Amino acid sequence: MTFELFNRTFFIATDVLFAYIVLIGTGLGVLYLVNRANKWSVIKDYVTTTHHRKIGVLYLLSATLFFLRAGIEALIIRMQLSVPENDFWVFQGDKFNEAFTTHGTIMIFFVAMPLLIGLMNVAVPLQIGAQDMAFPYMNAISFWLFLAGAILVNMSFFMTASPNAGWTAYAPLSTAEFTPEAGNDYYIFGLQVSGVGTILAAINMIVTIVRHRAPGMKMTRMPLFAWSTLVTAFLILIAFPVLTIALYILMFDRLFGTSFFSGESGSPIYWQHLFWIFGHPEVYIIIIPAFGIFSDVISTFSKKRVFGYTSMVVAIVIIGLLGFMVWVHHMFTVGLGPVVNTVFAITTMLIAVPTGIKIFNWLFTMRKGVIRLGTPMLFAAGFIPTFVIGGVTGVMLAVAAADFQFHDTYFVVAHFHYTMVGGTVLGAFAGIYYWFPKMFGFKLKDGLGKAHFWLFLIGFHITFFPQHFAGLNGMPRRVYTYTAEDNIFIFNFISTIGAFMMGIGTLFFVLNIYKSFKDPDKCGNDPWDGRTLEWSVPSPAPEHPFDPMPQVNTVDPLWEAKRNRGGKLPVANTSRSAPIDVTSWQPVSFYGVIMLFSLSFIYHVTWLQIVSGVMVLAFFALRTLTDEHTRLAKEGENHDNV
Amino acid sequence: MNKCKLLMASLVIFLTGCNLRVLDPKSETARDQSFLIQFSFALMMIVFAIVIILFVWFLSKYRENDQNKDYIPADEKGSPWLEITWTVIPFILLAILAVPTVSITFEQSAQTESTPTDAVLIEVTGQQFSWTFSYQNGVETVNDLRLPVDRPVEFTLRSDDIIHSFWIPKLGGKKDLIPGETRRMIVTPEETGTYQGKCAEFCGREHTKMRFTTTVMEESEYEQWLEDMKEKIE
Ligand code: HEM
Ligand SMILES: [Cu+2]
Ligand SMILES: [Cu+2]
């Protein structure tokens, strides 16, 4: 669409225009509602908070919003592919490529990651008997850095410069020679900034788990969600710096004319190695926490401790280690030679063993138990067969010579959605339904939860199962249309129907949140007859929840207390001092500064780069000079020194 | 009406599962790959079936009902024997799968093979968004690949700009075209016919349209075609 303004003609694509109208409309609507309900103080409370539960809620809330955005993109993709030779709206060529690029990027980095990190924030400190995360201020910084990155990638669309080289951003397509527009700069800065936040979050998790466990909670008594968080945090600590480096080099190639990934001495294959050395651990980073959630949920809802605790822990550690040794399975068709290909084929297959151990342990946790099918358990139950299908196709893809056929087809698209939606997203939903009472003091509605579950799960299989066949019939991924002779119409058509079913399922989830806030079912501390420490503290979890500090003697302390001590946890005689909670405008201001900094690079504004660069450094100085420890020591309060 | 027919036709494919291009090989390479796909699928179905049986069994048997509602299950930590079982059996299944995986992957990595003596040599160049094929006698075609039946063909793969991937599903798996490097791929088509070819690596705006047709013809026809094309350029 073109229009005249100040005697100049402007062009704006109708989809962008439409998105602006929707965004501004809902924005104004939300402002009006907030104002009417007089909730500004709540917003201020959350924006300046450093409390783990509130930061967790912020993560979950933003992840849900981004899930809706990337979900709409998924529906757009499915609309365009519903029939052969289709021309849906503007989504052909570049527009389509932008849609799947931002869909993938947002789903991985700004949906899967924050859903899980959010749940970790809410649950892990409470599960291990910590008063808060080890570094509350840094926790807030992590969140705001994540949000800055997410907003950068999201706003690119509104600046008509979406990234368009796929979520993998393969060079040389992603270099300035082939995609000179600002789109892939948004990708680089968005992931870079949020990546720093993620690394800080990982450090925080590790220190919290290592230093802040309740007395008696040995590592071997930690709930499995805490264990999976610990392993994930180490994976992040190793994998994300690789992404940082890769993006940094790509930034140099794009902005400053170097040629690491092209030309005589550079090679595009370097990018693939760097990206996948990060990228494969990344997919374990987003699945291992989900495994932890399922372990806790299945055990609670079967009224039994998890079967084979030790092998469960060993399995996630091995999955984490092997996760670093398989990246070439994304590059079988590059031609790295038979030795490399077979070695990586075999390491990849090996991951199936610890994963299988976990599946069977979950099944045997249910055996001889009493299985209550509450909404969290429904998601956990739906996960098992779904994820096994994804795992099975994963082993098939590991067969290097067979992957010459599978690679970059819809078979792969089906496979990774089976693992990421069937694993991560179902896990996140299970976790949200499970811990919602700890966040707000009331449960989500069961009836709506069931509707959400069934629509989402059935819709999921209808969407992605046929895609295996589309792939086997020769449909490459990342194509915006196909012909009738391709004989893949039926698979795509069914797939589109399923996608809309998932969309409706998601609406039920949103509706559920709305209804539950409107008419809350207050539910007390322990709505699920829980086993671990988080169910012993009030809902919503207060600041400094463990007072007095419990003494832990077993893997499921609360369950044991309910069986043998009338529900009273034994009290520890040593207590752990708490991290210092503050309220501060600094983290959110840092968000503003880092946005400015990134935008000045994306749009090459040199003076602003200097100014905002100085501001970033000034922030570091400011933080170095604020010291809560000395202040508290002067006031004579007991506090933690980590 | 046309759409309707199409729908019916594809429904049949959907139900029978055959006729899918990848599983309908026209060369030894593709046949081996198709074998691997079906073999790994069969092995994996064993695992899948066991999981589903246990899943349905436990879920129906131990589901909460009026009788067991207040029952507290006995504490059970695990069982070393069971855990060893489901560690060892997957290892065995994977070992079985690893044997053909390794042997066929080695066999198919053309870089280690020498050029067969009677091979047809074809240079393939990918560029945004089309394919150029050059034959030994200097003939060049765009998006139109012709091959003789029953003779090994050695493709030399190069890219003019960015990464593409050369794929003829019925003749075998894909191989990437990397700028600045050369890759080789050898296949022997065994049946005449017309097959689809596609770019499988996302390469920008019109990646979707980067397709070609492969026509496999009788040797004599092929020679004739080469002659005719040659005359055309001269
Ligand atoms: C909600 C339902 C979803 C639907 C209907 C859907 C649909 C699709 C489709 C059709 C594609 C292929 C695009 C193409 O190759 O042309 C795709 C790609 C992708 N999806 Fe989804 N998706 C959904 C949810 C998710 C979730 C939850 C995740 C991750 C947590 C995810 C991650 C990805 C990724 C990483 C890609 C690859 C993007 C790329 O090729 O660069 N999707 N999705
Ligand atoms: Cu991988
Ligand atoms: Cu392409």
SS3 (DSSP) at A522 = strand
Query: How far off is chain A from B233, nearest CA to CA, in Å?
Result: 32
CB B130 within 8 A of CB B209: no
Residues 6+ apart with CB under 8 A from A278: A239, A240, A242, A243, A246
- Whole-number percent of chain A with pLDDT over 70: 97
CB A598 within 8 A of CB A148: yes
Which residues is B120 bridged to in the sheet?
Answer: B153
pLDDT-derived band of residue A5, with 50, 70 and 90 as boundaries? low
The reply to whether ligand 1 has any atom less than 6 angstroms from the CB of A463 is yes
Of the candidates A630, A526, A533, which has an alpha carbon nearest to the alpha carbon of residue A580? A630
Contact across the interface for A490 and B7, Cβ inside 8 Å: yes
Specify the DSSP class assigned to residue B130.
Answer: E
- Backbone angles phi and psi of B176, in degrees to 5: -80, 150
The reply to whether ligand 1 has any atom less than 6 angstroms from the CB of A413 is yes
Phi-psi region of A213 (alpha: psi -120 to 50; beta: other; left: phi over 0): beta
Which of A3-12, A590-599, B14-23 has the highest average model confidence (pLDDT)?
A: A590-599
Q: Which amino acid is at A374?
A: G
Same domain membership, residue A206 and residue A336: yes
Which residues is B156 bridged to in the sheet?
Answer: B123, B184
Same domain membership, residue A92 and residue A23: no
Closest ligand 1 atom to the C-alpha of A421? Answer: 27
Structural tokens at position A147? 């949000």
Q: Kindly state the average pLDDT of the residues A174-188.
A: 92
Structure-token match 């393969």, residue found = A170
In a domain, A535, yes or no: yes
- Whole-number percent of chain A with pLDDT over 90: 79
Query: How far off is chain A from B232, nearest CA to CA, in Å?
Result: 31
Which residues is B159 bridged to in the sheet?
Answer: B126, B179
Specify the DSSP class assigned to residue B194.
Answer: E
Buried b (16+ CB within 10 A) or exposed e, A193-210: bbbbbbbbbbbbbbbbbe
CA distance A247 to A240: 11
Q: Which residues of A touch B214 (CB under 8 A)?
A: none
Residue A421: CB atoms within 10 A of its CB come to 21
pLDDT-derived band of residue A573, with 50, 70 and 90 as boundaries? confident
Which residue's alpha carbon is at the smallest distance from atom 8 of ligand 1?
A74
Same domain membership, residue A59 and residue A27: no
- Tell me the pairing of strands B164-168 and B140-142: unpaired
Pick the CATH number of B120-233 from 2.60.40.420, 2.60.120.590, 3.40.710.10, 3.10.180.10: 2.60.40.420
Same domain membership, residue A71 and residue A11: no
Q: Tell me what pLDDT residue A642 has.
A: 43
Among A429-433, A610-614, A632-636, name the one with the lowest average pLDDT: A632-636
Ligand nearest to the CA of A420: 1
C-alpha distances (whole Å) from B30 to each of A400, B116, B154 are: 13, 18, 15
CA distance A493 to A500: 11
Same domain membership, residue A155 and residue A62: yes
The reply to whether ligand 1 has any atom less than 6 angstroms from the CB of A421 is yes
- How many Cβ pairs within 8 Å bridge chains A and B? 281
CA distance A279 to A588: 29
pLDDT tens digits, one per residue of A433-470: 999 999 999 999 999 999 999 999 999 999 999 999 99
CA distance A478 to A264: 29
Full DSSP string of B141-184: EESEEEEETTS-EEEEEEESSS-EEEEETTTEEEEEE-BT--EE
Contact across the interface for A370 and B202, Cβ inside 8 Å: no
The reply to whether ligand 1 has any atom less than 6 angstroms from the CB of A100 is yes
Structural tokens at position A494? 């069914």
Same domain membership, residue A392 and residue A313: yes
Same domain membership, residue A160 and residue A16: no
Q: Which residues of A touch B178 (CB under 8 A)?
A: 267-269, 334-335
Q: Which of A166, A360, A371 is opposite residue B86, by nearest beta carbon?
A: A360
- Backbone angles phi and psi of A567, in degrees to 5: 85, 0
Contact across the interface for B174 and A333, Cβ inside 8 Å: yes
Mutate to test the pocket of ligand 1, among A101, A103, A507 (most ligand atoms within 8 A of CB): A103
Structural tokens at position A64? 């849900």
Which chain A residue is nearest to residue B183, measuring alpha carbons? Answer: A335
Residue B72: CB atoms within 10 A of its CB come to 13
Q: Which of A338, A384, A399 is opposite residue B40, by nearest beta carbon?
A: A399
Which chain A residue is nearest to residue B197, measuring alpha carbons? Answer: A474
In a domain, A25, yes or no: yes
Alpha-carbon dihedral of residues A493, A498, A501, A502, nearest 10 degrees?
A: -130
Q: Tell me what pLDDT residue A264 has.
A: 81
Full DSSP string of A10-47: EE--HHHHHHHHHHHHHHHHHHHHHHHTT-HHHHHHHH
Centre of ligand 3 to C-alpha A250, Å, is 21
Ligand nearest to the CA of A398: 2
CB A170 within 8 A of CB A241: no
Q: Is A473 on the interface with B (CB under 8 A)?
A: yes
In a domain, A291, yes or no: yes
Question: Which residue ranges of chain B lie beneath pLDDT 50?
Answer: 1-4, 6-7, 9, 15
pLDDT tens digits, one per residue of A490-511: 999 999 999 999 999 999 999 9
pLDDT tens digits, one per residue of A23-65: 999 999 999 998 888 888 999 999 999 999 999 999 999 999 9
Which residue's alpha carbon is at the smallest distance from atom 27 of ligand 1?
A421
Q: Is A314 on the interface with B (CB under 8 A)?
A: no
Same domain membership, residue A49 and residue A1: no
CB A213 within 8 A of CB A129: yes
Centre of ligand 2 to C-alpha A399, Å, is 13
Which residue's alpha carbon is at the smallest distance from atom 36 of ligand 1?
A104
Q: Tell me what pLDDT residue B3 has.
A: 47
Q: Which domain holds residue A34?
A: 1-38
The total number of residues shown for chain A amounts to 642
Contact across the interface for B169 and A389, Cβ inside 8 Å: no
- Is the dihedral angle over the CA atoms A181, A183, A187, A189 positive or is it negative? positive
CA distance B227 to B231: 6
Q: Tell me what pLDDT residue B1 has.
A: 40
C-alpha distances (whole Å) from B189 to each of A113, B44, B194 are: 47, 30, 11
Which residues is B185 bridged to in the sheet?
Answer: B155
Contact across the interface for B175 and A335, Cβ inside 8 Å: yes
Alpha-carbon dihedral of residues A241, A245, A247, A248, nearest 10 degrees?
A: 130
Domain count, chain A: 2
Q: What is the pTM of this model?
A: 0.94
Same domain membership, residue A551 and residue A532: yes
Mutate to test the pocket of ligand 1, among A86, A94, A100 (most ligand atoms within 8 A of CB): A100
Q: Hey, what CATH class is B2-63+77-109 in?
A: mainly alpha
SS3 (DSSP) at A53 = helix
Q: Check whether A242 has a pLDDT greater than 90.
A: yes
Structure-token match 């926490």, residue found = A289
Mutate to test the pocket of ligand 1, among A69, A92, A96, A107 (most ligand atoms within 8 A of CB): A107
Specify the DSSP class assigned to residue A476.
Answer: B
C-alpha distances (whole Å) from A596 to each of A58, A189, A215, A223, A601 are: 22, 11, 45, 41, 9
Q: Is A270 on the interface with B (CB under 8 A)?
A: no
CA distance A81 to A290: 31
Residue B159: CB atoms within 10 A of its CB come to 26
Of the candidates B124, B134, B115, B118, which has an alpha carbon nearest to the alpha carbon of residue B210? B124
CB A580 within 8 A of CB A558: no
Structural tokens at position A534? 């988080």
Of the candidates A95, A205, A78, A100, which has an alpha carbon nearest to the alpha carbon of residue A493? A78
Of the candidates A630, A280, A428, A298, which has an alpha carbon nearest to the alpha carbon of residue B59? A298
The reply to whether ligand 1 has any atom less than 6 angstroms from the CB of A78 is yes
CA distance A624 to A129: 29
In a domain, A639, yes or no: no
Same domain membership, residue A287 and residue A169: yes
Structure-token match 């436990």, residue found = B58
Structure-token match 């990155």, residue found = A149
In a domain, A641, yes or no: no
CA distance A349 to B92: 12
Q: Which residues are within 5 Å of ligand 2 (an ion), measured at CB?
A: A 280
Residues 6+ apart with CB under 8 A from A485: none
Structure-token match 């050898």, residue found = B186
Start-to-end CA distance of chain B, whole Å, equals: 48
DSSP alpha helices (H): ranges in A83-182?
93-105, 113-128, 136-158
CA distance A179 to B204: 9
CA distance B68 to B64: 6
Ranges in chain B annotated CATH 1.10.287: 2-63+77-109
Structure-token match 């492969």, residue found = B214
CA distance A48 to A55: 10
The CATH number of the domain holding residue A341 is 1.20.210.10
Q: Tell me what pLDDT residue B114 has.
A: 75
Same domain membership, residue A90 and residue A30: no
Q: Please work out, in degrees rounded to the nearest 5, the angle formed at the alpha carbon of residue B17 by the alpha carbons of B13 and B18.
A: 85
Same domain membership, residue A91 and residue A28: no
In a domain, A601, yes or no: yes
Ranges in chain B annotated CATH 2.60.40.420: 120-233
